[in-house]
Amino acid sequence: MTHKPTRRAFLKAAAAAVAAPMVIPARVLGADGGVPPSERINMGFIGVGGQGSGHLFGGAWTYVTGGYLGRDEIQVLGVCDVWKQKREGAKARVNQHYAGKTAKDSYKSCEAYADFRELIARPDVDAVLIASPAHWHALHSMMAMKAGKDVYCEKPVALNIADGRAMVNASTRYARIFQAGTQQRSCYGGKFRRAVEYVRNGRVGQLKGAYAALGGGGFNPGPGPTGPGRPVPKELDYELFIGPAPWTPFTGNTGAHMFGWGSDNWGQHHYDICQWGVDGDDTGPTDIGFEDGKLIYKYANGGVIYGCGCPGVKTGEGGPVTFLGTEGKIVVDRDQIYSDPKKILEQPLTASDVRVYKSDSHADNFLDCVRTRKRPICAAEVGHRAISILLLGGIATKLQRALKWDPQKEKFIADAEADKMTSYAMREPWHI
């Protein structure tokens, strides 16, 4: 026979439960050097494959042991991926981490989502890191910013020029912080910043050209076969993977750059540094053409950028950036910086020399700007202008002819055929 407890007994038991001590480490509450919950940035991660999990858990490009999860000032509230095993695995690792920190096996912080819209709809998420497939980057960024989230987006930040400009507009319209994942401006011991400052101060003489080791690239509207394809694994939301891109039957390929061609991945890194060197962060080239088979971009301020590397300079993984002037050259990559002649870099900069935005950590710069609302080192306009160079080169390569470009209107001059290649129609129901 079951006895129903009296109201007095129920209240007594409830009072005892409230009065019982709950053992939570002081560090979790902000003592002992911890960060109190009120000062933490709540983050979500869209795309937790190789690049995304590297950011989340720690990788070669994160520079903090344990990645974002290892930062006390971050609370990871959600992970999103179209692959079930990736999102569930990331969720389990995040919750295991926090359970260890709180000494509570049942402690849960993180939820897993197949659909990114559910993650960005959460009012308690402050910022998202986007490492989804490249054809999603611009739309994920725009929708996240519209939902009130600050954004760190991996490169390429867009696969066409129109989407890149819409992404910039969204950052402005919704007053959101946006950081492009071109971390060479911040990391690698400041080598790239040093090279740019030496160039800007005339240490190589008159700059004849900045050389990126890679050529153009862009969006590939038809990467796959039109046949029936293969059965889609039950663990994959393939419809959501394709998203705004043209429908392509599943063939086993769900690579991050399935809808890209050319140097869409590495290229933005190098063109970003070249454009930094020629002082073109808020503009673009006026002429795109070819010289001795290489892409050449000419700027209204006299700056010149070449694609596919500098003659006589060895290229490693991804290749270096070279600044060639009338008095010598500076070559820089992630491992080294050197000049020819050597005396160019042996003479230190002075207090009166021109300096550029200084950041020693790309992630730290992003998080600091989330707190302070300052402009990050690779803000939306910077990221858009850097990928635009690569995309313009891709259009010239596809058409195999020289082009004239208006960098303010972001239209080709009297060239309707080229203009059509600056955008594409998204697959329904996706749109800007």
Residue whose C-alpha is closest to residue 325's, from 160, 414, 206? 206
Tell me if 415 is assigned to some domain: yes
Rounded to 10°, the helix 380-399/161-173 angle is 170
Q: How confident is the model at residue 317 (pLDDT cuts 50, 70, 90)?
A: low
DSSP state of 105: T
What does the pLDDT average to over 407-424?
A: 97
Instruction: Give me the pLDDT at residue 224, please.
Output: 56
Question: Could you tell me which residues come within 8 angstroms of residue 187 by beta carbon, excluding any fewer than 6 positions away?
Answer: 61, 63, 360, 361, 362
Residue 11, classed as helix, strand or coil, is helix
CATH number of the domain that 391 lies in? 3.30.360
- Please count the structural domains in the chain: 1
Average pLDDT over residues 67-87: 97
The parent domain of residue 309 ranges over 190-218+263-356+380-422
Within-domain flag for 147: no
pLDDT score for 1: 43
In a domain, 347, yes or no: yes
> Which residue from 51, 83, 85 is spatially nearest to 67, judged by alpha carbons?
51
| pLDDT tens digits for range 198-217 | 999 999 999 999 999 999 99
> Is residue 334 one of the residues assigned to a domain?
yes
Check residue 208 and give its pLDDT: 97
112-125: pLDDT as tens digits = 999 999 999 999 99
Confidence category of residue 13, pLDDT binned at 50, 70, 90: very low
Does any domain span residue 410? yes
Q: Which amino acid is at 24?
A: I
> At 100, which helix (H) or strand (E)?
helix 84-102
Which pTM was predicted?
0.90
Q: Is residue 71 part of a domain?
A: no
The per-residue pLDDT of the chain, averaged, comes to 90
Residue 134 pLDDT > 80: yes
- Please name every residue paired with 28 in a beta bridge, in sequence order, or none if there are none: none
pLDDT tens track for 33-56: 457 677 899 999 999 999 999 999
In a domain, 278, yes or no: yes
